[in-house]
Amino acid sequence: MNNHEAKSRDAILKRLARVEGQVRGIHAMILRGEECEAVAQQFSAARKALDKAYQEMLVCLAEDAILDPDQSNAEKLTQLRAIFTKYT
């Protein structure tokens, strides 16, 4: 794993840890009987954080496809299209 891959992995893990904490917080809010709007706001924040982590993962997949020296440009484009079709 190169330095760029390690940084990308660490960024994704940090985002996921944040999401995990947010979900635990939402769980606690529901147990305490907090207002639905406050809970909904935290759900929204957790979803956005999870979306950011997902975007980081898509970038990782795209970079792997683009930087593969064993593939032609046409093959790289085909792989990128497949990634975006499958995951977005």
- Phi then psi for residue 71, to 5 deg, are -115, 145
Q: What is the Cα–Cα distance from 45 to 3, expressed in whole angstroms?
A: 30
* Residue pLDDT, tens place only, 7-20: 888 989 999 999 99
In this prediction the pTM is 0.76
pLDDT digits (tens, 9 = 90+) for 10-63: 989 999 999 999 999 999 999 999 999 999 999 999 999 999 999 988 888 888
Given a cut of 80, whether residue 74 has pLDDT beyond it is yes
CB atoms < 10 A from the CB of 71, how many? 14
Neighbours of 26 (CB within 10 A): 19
Contact residues for 53 (Cβ-Cβ < 8 A; gap 6+): 12, 15, 16, 19
